[in-house]
A and B are shown apart, each in its own frame.
Chain A
Amino acid sequence: MLTDLDPIATAPADAAPSDAANEVQVYLARQNGKDLLRFITCGSVDDGKSTLIGRLLYDCKCLFEDQLASLEADSGRFGTTGAGQLDLALLVDGLAAEREQGITIDVAYRFFTTERRKFIVADTPGHEQYTRNMVTGASTADAAVLLVDARKGVLTQTRRHSTIVSLLGVRHVVLAVNKMDAVGWSRETFERIAADYRVFAQRIGIDEVTCIPVSALTGDNVTKPSDAMGWYGGPTLLGHLESVDAAAEEKLGAFRMAVQWVNRPNQDFRGFCGTVAGGALRVGDEVAILPGGRTSRVARIVTMDGDLETAQPGQAVTLVLADEVDASRGDMIAAATGRPEVADQFAAHVVWMDEQPLLPGRSYLLRAGTATVGAQVTELKHAINVNTQEHAAAKHLDLNDVGFCNLALDRPIPFDAYADSRETGSFILIDRLTNATAGCGMIRFGLRRASNIHRHASKLDKAARAGGLQKPCVLWFTGLSGSGKSSVADRLEQELHRLGRRTMILDGDNVRHGLNRDLGFTDEDRVENIRRVAEVSKLMVDAGLIVLVSFISPFREERRMARSLVEEGEFLEIFMDTPLEVCEARDPKGLYRKARAGQLPHFTGIDSAYEPPDAPEIMLKGAEQTADEMVAQVIGELRRREVI
């Protein structure tokens, strides 16, 4: 900062106004003219990444005396650079655990300014187990500085970081070959590493790479050209970062704005608030409200500082439209000509960030722009090994895995390809139960086949098919193996039949002999097993039947999905709450014995979890009630709910 003001402070009287006010005005004018570059640094544990950032802050004089004093104190306590040396890494590793372990766990954001530009650095961790944190930092970066240790060259983690940088669409990549001091400033070493890397980078689609030999420890080629490496004729790291193109490339060229909030202070004003995600907008432009597709014209672009004639990408504005059209949060306002794609299926790269694996068929919440919809991965085409970039078949994605998949949504949303727009081509996946941000995705392309299948509306509905005998519904029995689901369902069906009702029973074992005989017992297959049964039971409800489903169905999420397929009130969850000990003692099929002997992997209750329902419609105590009592309880509940 000092360097920035010095020229003014010492300028001759005739060159600048002498009083503080004018001096500061000139200074501020120059500050305001600066643009902003956001970059990430990535490297493995001891590549010296935090030291490099510390060096940038230190050399750009962005540290204050008290910060230096506490750095000196900390260097003594935690430092790894030896007595009397400042350990610059301690400037950035801010969490207690990081300082103690000497590693970076989470993204840290740092700010510095030079004569030419303002910078936000996201210091991201190198460990594979913190890949999701690196993805977080990369999602908003314009440039990436990848560090390698000159003594080790391009390693697995460099390739991993590069893959993520490429996936997240970071446009400028710098390979900083660090610790050149430790290899005798060897030109040959640098050139070999640089050549290795360029070959690799091109293969994974990184077009622009700049390789720079540096020493974060000594500062050579970080902010000042290196005397020791006279053979290097390129820019310093900082010099390069000051000159790369910071402005995001505008590839869309057409207006996009997700509606965040509808502003209605009174009857006469209705504004749609949002941030312009792409394209420019001018008053009078024709826009479409998507996914609906109604069109209108922009009447006003409102801000507190006054109405605007035009709005540009990055601006937060409030739009007033010429017509009374309905738009709400989750809709996108887009140029009427040059619209985004609207579909309920697309192919995307997904990075998984949750301890619970991503299972195809499981329902998640997908957030894209301001829209939140239900979504599931319908096909996991392949996983990408981030270390080798090889594609491999996969049934699920674990924490930090990357996959390429098809997704299906509950309803269509507007989007663009990620390659064209980070804002309108990205999404996150949210776990419905824990609310965790479980994954993120980059859309490649929409899938057309969804739009060519139209629902056929039939003349008869399910009430007609039920013929006034009953209200069609699903009675979903869930519980451990041996809890009594099938026998109670069986007796209940007989009783309903005696009462003259039309029923059908779907039993886990029976369905696995036919429709689901291709499925095993892994978590992925269990999810698919339930999805098919849920779809079949929905068809049977449409047929007017009372459907008795008897499946262990261990996961809450799948039962919730089955419930969501039918209408409100048509799904009754019946929990056979029989303790594991009782089920195991009964062991009607001898399965528990096998499972305990290790001959039956993934057996629910033994080595695969059972998630009991939170609020089942009917709760049966299998160990305490007789079968007749349980049947009577269900019949009573069906009468109360006017199912029969």
Chain B
Amino acid sequence: MLLDPLFDTRPAARDLPQPAPASGVEDALPAILTTPARLTHLQRLEAESIHIMREVAAQFHKPVMLYSVGKDSSVLLHLAMKAFYPSKPPFPLLHVDTTWKFREMIEFRDRMAQDLGLDLTVHINRDGVRQGIGPVSHGSAVHTDVMKTQALKQALDAHGFDAAFGGARRDEEKSRAKERIFSFRTATHRWEPKNQRPELWNLYQGRIHKGESIRVFPLSNWTELDIWQYIHQEAIPVVPLYFAKPRPVVERDGTLIMVDDDRLPLKPGEVPEMAWVRFRTLGCYPLTGAVRSTAATLPEIIREMLLSTGSERQGRVIDQDAAASMEAKKQEGYF
């Protein structure tokens, strides 16, 4: 079981001063009765995200949740299970598979959908596959555009989804920091950063014309630390790639690339070495840099993150193309 190392630490941790666990409102009852109780930071974030998800379920005809299999998606999925309990989330999951994801991501994806009994749709850009598009042969920009952005638009159009949840956070990147929680997209999926709808109080406004859509970001106000803290508190399963272990990697331009299958052509003299590594962020394996680490449990990961001097997107090759690359990609319809 994935989270065994974490569970092992819990009994010991009980002796320590503990935050009120999420399920412990009853335990904390006397406090609630005598003083005006205050929600913790994470409880506030959780409630805000649930509120947003319920708004989407109520306002749209055909919402979908983009499931990218990463840690943010894991949190998103967990929140969706909470938001509609005891019902199942009233929307399917959609994974845009570039065919270059880590194998462990695909296994994890299928298992999660099965365990939770959710409807999962996988979309692959078949045109791109026919043309042999890939990150190694065509570079990150072309690959991302064809296999992610275009593929996403194909899937949204094909199913007629009018709202799509994504797990993006405002602390990830500068143009994300400017984006609304309900983010309007034109019928051609374009984002107009200079003409966004004002978004006031908790009144999320999702009225659209036919063909237009809204991208919804329930995790907008979460930080990377909040995500890990919540995964820890709620014991949410995440892909094992986040945990360090010996993996075959090659070093290119200072980035450690994992040799996940035999599609990664090795350069002359390049020999994969087994190194203790893990991933802070997950994507297409040839575009995702690993970090050297021995952090094999959640607490170790959190500790490592707190002491880190690099941001999580550092490992993403695609963000380093140009200063405004994310903004440009988002305008084209990228999540």
Given A64-B314, A106-B196, A435-B209, check contact A31 B229 (CB 8 Å).
Answer: yes
Given A66-B311, A275-B47, A306-B23, check contact A265 B323 (CB 8 Å).
Answer: no
CB contact between A436 and one of B9, B175, B197, B199 (< 8 Å): that residue: B197
* Minimal beta-carbon separation of B12 from chain A (angstroms): 6
B87 & A264 in contact (Cβ 8 Å cutoff): yes
Tell me if A569 counts as interface (CB < 8 A to partner B): no
* Minimal beta-carbon separation of B305 from chain A (angstroms): 8
Task: Encode A305-325 as 1/0 by CB contact (under 8 A) with B.
Answer: 110111010111010000000
CB contact between B86 and one of A263, A314, A315 (< 8 Å): that residue: A263
A94 & B87 in contact (Cβ 8 Å cutoff): no
* Minimal beta-carbon separation of B226 from chain A (angstroms): 9
Tell me if B131 counts as interface (CB < 8 A to partner A): no
Task: Encode A439-456 as 1/0 by CB contact (under 8 A) with B.
Answer: 010000000000000000
Tell me if A200 counts as interface (CB < 8 A to partner B): no
Q: Which residue of A lies closest to B315 (CB)?
A: A66
Given A25-B13, A96-B327, A308-B25, check contact A106 B194 (CB 8 Å).
Answer: yes
Tell me if B324 counts as interface (CB < 8 A to partner A): yes
* Minimal beta-carbon separation of B5 from chain A (angstroms): 9
CA distance A108 to B220 in the complex (A): 11
Chain A residues numbered 246-267 whose CB sits less than 8 Å from any CB in chain B = 247, 250, 260-261, 263-265
B223 & A305 in contact (Cβ 8 Å cutoff): no
A273 & B54 in contact (Cβ 8 Å cutoff): yes
CA distance A36 to B208 in the complex (A): 33
CA distance A505 to B161 in the complex (A): 48
Tell me if A428 counts as interface (CB < 8 A to partner B): yes
Residue of A1, A99, A368 most packed against chain B (CB within 10 A): A1
Chain A residues numbered 3-33 whose CB sits less than 8 Å from any CB in chain B = 4-5, 9, 17, 20-29, 31-33
B198 & A135 in contact (Cβ 8 Å cutoff): yes
Tell me if B203 counts as interface (CB < 8 A to partner A): yes
B303 & A23 in contact (Cβ 8 Å cutoff): yes
B297 & A20 in contact (Cβ 8 Å cutoff): yes
Given A9-B307, A22-B16, check contact A139 B41 (CB 8 Å).
Answer: no
CA distance A435 to B59 in the complex (A): 13
CB contact between B36 and one of A2, A35, A247 (< 8 Å): that residue: A247
B232 & A250 in contact (Cβ 8 Å cutoff): no
A29 CB contacts on chain B under 8 angstroms: 16-19
Q: Among A222-230, A419-427, A494-502, which stretch is in contact with chain B? A: A419-427
CA distance A108 to B200 in the complex (A): 14
Tell me if B58 counts as interface (CB < 8 A to partner A): yes
B198 CB contacts on chain A under 8 angstroms: 132-133, 135-136, 353, 428, 437, 440
B324 CB contacts on chain A under 8 angstroms: 95-96, 99
CA distance A263 to B170 in the complex (A): 30
> How many A-B contacts at CB < 8 Å in the complex?
252
Tell me if A570 counts as interface (CB < 8 A to partner B): no
Q: Among B77-85, B103-111, B134-142, B257-265, which stretch is in contact with chain A? A: B77-85
Tell me if A430 counts as interface (CB < 8 A to partner B): yes
Chain B residues numbered 191-207 whose CB sits less than 8 Å from any CB in chain A = 193-194, 196-203, 205, 207
B29 & A309 in contact (Cβ 8 Å cutoff): yes
Given A139-B201, A260-B58, A312-B32, check contact A24 B41 (CB 8 Å).
Answer: no
Q: Which residue of B lies closest to A308 (CB)?
A: B25
CB contact between A33 and one of B13, B19, B205, B314 (< 8 Å): that residue: B19
Given A21-B297, A260-B55, check contact A426 B82 (CB 8 Å).
Answer: no
Tell me if B42 counts as interface (CB < 8 A to partner A): yes
Q: Which residue of B lies closest to A9 (CB)?
A: B307
Tell me if A566 counts as interface (CB < 8 A to partner B): no
B175 & A94 in contact (Cβ 8 Å cutoff): yes
B327 CB contacts on chain A under 8 angstroms: 94-96
B303 CB contacts on chain A under 8 angstroms: 5, 20, 23-24, 27
A269 & B86 in contact (Cβ 8 Å cutoff): yes
* Minimal beta-carbon separation of A72 from chain B (angstroms): 13
CA distance A9 to B303 in the complex (A): 10
Task: Encode A234-251 as 1/0 by CB contact (under 8 A) with B.
Answer: 000000000000010010
* Minimal beta-carbon separation of B295 from chain A (angstroms): 8
Tell me if B38 counts as interface (CB < 8 A to partner A): yes
A107 CB contacts on chain B under 8 angstroms: 178
Tell me if A304 counts as interface (CB < 8 A to partner B): yes
* Minimal beta-carbon separation of A365 from chain B (angstroms): 8
A312 CB contacts on chain B under 8 angstroms: 32, 36-37, 39
* Minimal beta-carbon separation of B160 from chain A (angstroms): 18
User: Main secondary structure on chain B at its contact with chain A?
Assistant: loop
Task: Encode B51-67 as 1/0 by CB contact (under 8 A) with A.
Answer: 10011011000000000
CA distance A315 to B25 in the complex (A): 11
A139 & B9 in contact (Cβ 8 Å cutoff): no
Total chain A interface residues with beta-carbon distance under 8 A: 95
Total chain B interface residues with beta-carbon distance under 8 A: 86
B170 & A111 in contact (Cβ 8 Å cutoff): yes
CA distance A93 to B324 in the complex (A): 11
Tell me if A40 counts as interface (CB < 8 A to partner B): no
A435 & B57 in contact (Cβ 8 Å cutoff): no
CB contact between A109 and one of B13, B50, B221 (< 8 Å): that residue: B221
Given A32-B19, A64-B314, A303-B85, check contact A367 B205 (CB 8 Å).
Answer: yes
Residue of B23, B58, B178, B207 most packed against chain A (CB within 10 A): B178
Q: Which residue of A lies closest to B176 (CB)?
A: A94
Tell me if A110 counts as interface (CB < 8 A to partner B): yes
CB contact between B314 and one of A22, A66, A271, A437 (< 8 Å): that residue: A66
B54 & A261 in contact (Cβ 8 Å cutoff): yes
A261 & B58 in contact (Cβ 8 Å cutoff): yes
Tell me if A370 counts as interface (CB < 8 A to partner B): yes
A531 CB contacts on chain B under 8 angstroms: none
Task: Encode B13-27 as 1/0 by CB contact (under 8 A) with A.
Answer: 100111110110110
B41 & A260 in contact (Cβ 8 Å cutoff): no
CA distance A293 to B40 in the complex (A): 34
B9 & A305 in contact (Cβ 8 Å cutoff): no
CA distance A607 to B16 in the complex (A): 75
Given A94-B175, A302-B86, check contact A310 B205 (CB 8 Å).
Answer: no
B295 CB contacts on chain A under 8 angstroms: 20
CA distance A21 to B13 in the complex (A): 8
B58 CB contacts on chain A under 8 angstroms: 260-261, 329, 370
A108 & B203 in contact (Cβ 8 Å cutoff): no
CB contact between B232 and one of A28, A94, A305 (< 8 Å): that residue: A28
- B interface, CB within 8 angstroms of A: 9, 12-13, 16-20, 22-23, 25-26, 29, 32-33, 36-44, 46-47, 50-51, 54-55, 57-58, 81-88, 170-171, 173-178, 193-194, 196-203, 205, 207-209, 220-221, 223, 225, 229, 232-233, 295, 297, 299-300, 302-303, 306-311, 314, 323-324, 327-328
- 5 pairs across A/B with beta carbons < 8 Å? A1-B306, A31-B19, A111-B171, A308-B26, A353-B198
- A interface, CB within 8 angstroms of B: 1-2, 4-5, 9, 17, 20-29, 31-36, 64-67, 70, 74, 77, 91-97, 99, 105-111, 113, 118, 120, 132-133, 135-136, 139-140, 247, 250, 260-261, 263-265, 269, 271, 273-275, 280, 302-306, 308-310, 312, 314-316, 318, 329, 353, 365, 367-368, 370, 422-423, 426-428, 430, 435-437, 440
Nearest 6 A-B pairs (CB), nearest first? A94-B174, A32-B19, A21-B9, A24-B299, A304-B85, A316-B50
